[in-house]
Amino acid sequence: NTAYLALNTQSLPERLANVPVLMQQLGDDVQQWDVKEVGDGNLNLVFIVQSPKGSVIVKQALPYVRLVGDSWPLPLYRAFYEYHALTRQAQRDPGSVPEIYYFDEKQALIVMQFLSPHVILRNKLIAGETVAGLGDFCGKHCARVAFRGSELSMKSADKKADVALFAGNVEIPAITEGLVFTDPYFDAEMNNHTPELDPVVARLRANADLKRIVQSMLAKFASNTETMLHGDLHSGSIMSTDTESRVIDPEFAQYGPMGFDIGMLTANYLMAYFSQPAHRGDDLTTYQAWILSVVEKCFAAFQTEFRQLWMTERTGMLYPKALFEDQGQSSESACDAVLANIWLDALRFCGIEMHRRCLSLAHNADFESIENTSIRAPLEARNIEMGLALILNADTLTTPKDLTALAKVFNEK
Ligand code: SR1
Ligand code: MG
């Protein structure tokens, strides 16, 4: 019942010693608890706590943006939404997220399963490692969470209650609204980009058509509440071994458009792809081809799983069987149309995420770890130009193969 206090490696054992589930996981001899702070994200404290008996992750929100410092306060209540998002993801796609052991709302603290030997997927992609089944896992996960969190599946009253619950998460979506959708397209205060990109950036910001389309996607992101999103699904929000993956870190959860998560994730695969020439040697072509195969498999798995759920779990208010199958009519073309909208949205969200990671505040290690800017800038330029093409011309791409073929074209520029 004490007031919020940020943990550190010294205080953690004493402060959490009385939590029954921790004693169960780690044993009650706190002298044997080994605590390391490993948070490398932009916002939170993350501790690995290990003992001879077991291990857990303790994640605690800080009252400010860690990346920037206490000049940018951020509400602690985001831990509440992360906890509720994790429980929903676990229901909607069992086994896809870490198990939750304990939640303390006042301390903004979640204790969860330590995934081992999993590592952050982004690091594996930079290191040139493959993950078996990655595209399939991601596509199925996005489809299950999107479908089962929508009124295609949920009872309307339950869905509306959930939308109302998550509507309290205000400042976190506001970060996305600013950093992702708006800042890249003007000279915003917190922006930074590789200096050699100046001419590319100037041309982008002079494009009013681009800004109009991006703003229409922002309107969708902010007002279309069709399903619960992870909200920040990038390769730093996935942990993998060579054969298995889990999704972590849904503190940006909100109800939003179905194409958002898969679009943002695709952007992160494409950025991994475009950055590879700086990270690989002889195996460059093979590894880049593998990344594109992940993109294709992810969309293929999404569509297959979504269609399967459409046929077997369409129990919500939308497109009811009473209107179609019960009348002897097929709902297949309705499903096709829903999927076509998701695809178009996903491509545009993808292009926007590709832009913000090179132009706005929070960049990614795929490009940032390339120290020589004369090597980094042309690779980022390919990524930015492809993002532009996706936003302007999404409707010219019909299949995942069209998307990966376009990536190959920009990779040659
Ligand atoms: C100020 S937070 C910057 C970024 O970090 C998070 O992981 C989100 O991607 C956010 O946009
Ligand atoms: Mg995160």
**pLDDT single digits (tens) 236-261:** 999 999 999 999 999 999 999 999 99
Residues paired with 73 in a beta bridge: 64
Q: Which atom of ligand 1 is nearest to the CA of 356?
A: 11
Ligand 1 centroid from CA 129, angstroms: 25
What digits encode the pLDDT tens for the residues 160-196?
A: 999 999 999 999 999 999 999 999 999 999 999 999 9
CA separation for the pair 226, 146 (Å, rounded): 8
Task: Copy the structure tokens of residue 193.
Answer: 């980009």
Mean pLDDT of 226-243: 98
- Give the dihedral sign, CA 277/279/285/289: negative
3-state SS, residue 376: helix
Residues paired with 395 in a beta bridge: none
Neighbours of ion ligand 2 (CB under 5 A): 41, 232, 249
Radius of gyration, alpha carbons of the chain = 22
Name the CATH topology of 119-411. Answer: Aminoglycoside 3'-phosphotransferase; Chain: A, domain 2 (3.90.1200)
Ligand 2 centroid from CA 334, angstroms: 34
Confidence (pLDDT) at 216: 98
Residues spanned by CATH 3.30.200.20 within the chain? 11-113
Name the CATH topology of 11-113. Answer: Phosphorylase Kinase; domain 1 (3.30.200)
CB 271 within 8 A of CB 376: no
What digits encode the pLDDT tens for the residues 121-169?
A: 999 999 999 999 999 999 999 999 999 999 999 999 999 999 999 999 9
Confidence (pLDDT) at 2: 82
Residues 6+ apart with CB under 8 A from 296: 135, 400, 401, 403, 404
CA separation for the pair 123, 266 (Å, rounded): 16
pTM of the model: 0.97
Cα 303 from chain centre: 19
Residues spanned by CATH 3.90.1200.10 within the chain? 119-411
List all residues whose CB is within 6 A of at least one atom of ligand 1: 41-43, 65, 67, 175-176, 179, 232, 361-362
Ligand 1 centroid from CA 237, angstroms: 11
Determine the residue of 40, 68, 232 to mutate for testing ligand 1's pocket, defined as the one with the most ligand atoms within 8 A of the Cβ atom.
Answer: 232
Ligand 2 centroid from CA 228, angstroms: 16
Task: Copy the structure tokens of residue 224.
Answer: 């279309």
Strand ranges for 171-275 from DSSP E: 227-229, 238-240, 245-247, 254-256
Instruction: Indicate the helix (H) or strand (E) that contains 139.
Output: helix 134-148
Which residue puts its alpha carbon closest to atom 3 of ligand 1? 362
Q: What is the ipTM of this complex?
A: 0.98
Residues paired with 82 in a beta bridge: none
Mean pLDDT of 51-58: 97
CA separation for the pair 397, 345 (Å, rounded): 12
In degrees and rounded to multiples of 5, residue 47 shows phi and psi of: -115, 140
- Determine what percent of the chain is predicted with pLDDT higher than 70: 100
3-state SS, residue 227: strand
Confidence (pLDDT) at 40: 83
What digits encode the pLDDT tens for the residues 305-358?
A: 999 999 999 999 999 999 999 999 999 999 999 999 999 999 999 999 999 999
CA separation for the pair 402, 93 (Å, rounded): 29
3-state SS, residue 111: strand
Ligand 2 centroid from CA 379, angstroms: 24
Confidence (pLDDT) at 1: 65
Which residue puts its alpha carbon closest to atom 7 of ligand 1? 42
Determine the residue of 179, 247, 352 to mutate for testing ligand 1's pocket, defined as the one with the most ligand atoms within 8 A of the Cβ atom.
Answer: 179
Confidence class of residue 405 from pLDDT cuts 50, 70 and 90?
A: very high
Q: Taking Cα atoms as reference points, which of 147, 68, 189 lies closest to residue 313?
A: 147
